[in-house]
């Protein structure tokens, strides 16, 4: 039997998975899928790599399903469809690593306690990440479990990109800008290094636009600034999250509207963003298909904020050489891309509208000084790479690279 890598991304209503075979040149995808609708009527969707047919079935006849039931369904499908499948290691996406983790880490009880303590900083994600780890540890007691952090890619920021203008002791206690979507940005850098190697030594701005959205300035392959901060609420507007907000608004809502922490959390995390602005949906496809003016205004607001942050990140690096669009919206919503990238001659970018509409990888004109690319991110493959190295599943146990900074 061959040891395989299982990657898990456990969210509030879904569990995404992928199965990889360790290879000499990195992990090779064997299968992938997800269980969605855990809070309503859970469905499993899965398929083998390269296969046209996908398997779909309901987990329950009625009511919600647990993360354990989701993992049980995933493993049942894997055993039935992947020959010689034995899980040798499990890699987990963990949204928040705080100031303790600068790279992937083998999970033990001490690490798990640190991750659980960070749950208030990422309430939409961290509790479910931890729940997925607990289920996987119980299911595979002999397999190494590896935490791969969305914040780790940004832990090399200079002080000015990390600090808030609060009394210094808050920074020392960990109240600082962490940045997120790091696994996605790592994946984009990996792809650039392979397909556009000349871009790595330059100044790159990546826009990860999806239900969660952020942007990152990258120089020499390293993050130097991010639009997200202490939590995944900051920066760009998202599907249901507000993005940048004057903190005075929170004081007003507390003192004048009587809203407590629970009400504010629900407002900012689940009722705002594209959903709140449009009054219709958090799904860009629905907004683009709607004739409501509020839907158009929500899209225009997202576009305006992306363009604003693009200018700021370019200033952070004294210019930009490559702009990358990724994520569900960044990769697939060509009209949104066009609104963001047009009329950018001032920064050196000339958009090729035909290439953009056709969904080409390169969407800038041949003579454009700044190159614009559309790249599919692959967070699961990045998790698998980290897990393969840290767990030693390929036969060579390698210590986590700087996995603990100041824990």
Cα–Cα separations (whole angstroms), residue 133 to 91, 128, 136: 9, 9, 5
Dump pLDDT digits (tens) for 21-37.
Answer: 988 778 999 999 999 88
pLDDT range class, residue 394, cuts 50, 70, 90: low
Which residue is it, tokens 């600068």?
Answer: 102
Judge whether residue 381 has pLDDT over 80: yes
Name all contacts of 68-74 with Cβ < 8 Å and 24+ positions apart: 68/135, 69/42, 70/15, 70/35, 70/38, 70/42, 70/44, 71/8, 71/15, 71/132, 71/135, 71/136, 71/139, 73/35, 73/42, 73/44, 74/15, 74/17, 74/33, 74/35, 74/44, 74/46
Model pLDDT, residue 241: 94
CATH number of this structure's domain 197-374? 3.30.420.40
Share of the chain above pLDDT 90, in %: 75
What is the predicted pLDDT for the residue at 69? 86
The least confident of 10-14, 211-215, 317-321, 341-345 is 10-14
Distance (Å, rounded) from C-alpha 357 to C-alpha 338?
8
- DSSP 3-state of 111: helix
Catalytically active residues, by annotation: 150
Would you say 389 and 27 are in contact if contact means Cβ atoms under 8 Å apart?
A: no
Q: What are the boundaries of each domain within the chain?
A: 2-149+379-391, 197-374
CATH among 3.20.20.80, 3.20.20.70, 3.30.1490.390, 3.30.420.40 for 2-149+379-391: 3.30.420.40
* pTM, to two decimals: 0.91
109-117 and 126-139 are packed helices; what angle lies between their axes, rounded to 10 degrees? 160
What's 219's DSSP letter? Answer: E
Question: Does residue 178 carry a pLDDT above 80?
Answer: yes
pLDDT, one tens digit per residue, over 70-128 is 888 888 888 888 877 789 999 999 999 998 899 999 999 999 999 999 999 988 889 98
Mean local confidence (pLDDT), 370-387: 96
**Can you tell me whether residue 203 is helix, strand or coil?**
strand
Query: Does the pLDDT value for residue 398 go beyond 50?
Result: no
pLDDT at 396: 42
- DSSP letter, residue 108: -
The answer to whether 2-149+379-391 and 197-374 have equal CATH topology is yes
Confidence band of 39 (pLDDT split at 50, 70, 90): confident
Q: Is 60 exceeded by the pLDDT of residue 397?
A: no
């Amino acid at each position: 039997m061959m040891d395989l890598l299982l990657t898990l991304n456990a969210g509030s209503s879904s569990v995404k998975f992928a199965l990889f075979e360790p290879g000499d040149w990195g992990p090779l995808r064997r299968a992938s899928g997800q269980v969605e609708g855990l809070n309503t009527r859970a469905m499993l969707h899965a398929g083998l790599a390269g296969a046209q047919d996908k398997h779909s079935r309901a987990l329950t006849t009625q009511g919600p399903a647990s993360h354990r039931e989701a993992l049980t369904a995933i493993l049942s499908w894997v055993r039935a469809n992947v020959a010689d499948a034995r899980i040798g290691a499990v890699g987990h996406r963990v949204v928040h690593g705080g100031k303790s983790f600068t790279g992937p880490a083998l999970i033990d009880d001490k690490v798990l306690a640190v991750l659980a303590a960070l749950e208030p900083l990422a309430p939409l994600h961290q509790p479910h990440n931890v729940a997925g780890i607990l289920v996987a540890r119980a299911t595979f007691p002999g397999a190494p479990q590896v935490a791969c952090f969305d914040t780790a890619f940004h832990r090399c920021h200079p002080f000015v990109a990390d600090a808030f203008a609060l009394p210094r002791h808050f920074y020392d206690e960990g109240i600082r800008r962490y940045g997120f979507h790091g696994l996605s940005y790592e994946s984009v850098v990996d792809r650039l290094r392979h397909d556009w190697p000349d871009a790595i030594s330059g100044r790159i701005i990546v826009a990860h636009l999806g239900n969660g959205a952020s942007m990152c300035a990258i120089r020499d392959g390293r993050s130097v600034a991010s639009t997200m901060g202490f939590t995944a609420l900051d920066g760009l507007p998202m599907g249901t999250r507000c993005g940048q907000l004057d903190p005075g608004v929170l004081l007003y809502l507390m003192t004048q509207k009587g809203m407590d922490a629970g009400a504010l959390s629900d407002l900012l995390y689940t009722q705002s963003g594209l959903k709140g602005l449009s009054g219709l949906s958090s799904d860009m496809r629905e907004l683009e298909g709607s004739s409501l003016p509020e839907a158009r205004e929500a899209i225009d607001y997202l576009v305006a904020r992306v363009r604003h942050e693009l200018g700021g990140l370019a200033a952070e690096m004294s210019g930009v050489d490559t702009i990358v669009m990724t994520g569900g919206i960044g990769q697939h919503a060509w009209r949104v891309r066009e609104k963001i990238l047009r009329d950018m001659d001032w920064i050196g970018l000339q958009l090729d509208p035909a290439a953009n509409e056709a969904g080409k990888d390169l969407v800038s004109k041949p003579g454009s000084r700044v190159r614009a690319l559309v790249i599919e991110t692959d967070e699961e493959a990045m998790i698998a790479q980290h897990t393969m190295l840290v767990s030693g599943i390929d036969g060579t146990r390698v210590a986590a690279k700087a996995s603990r900074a100041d824990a």
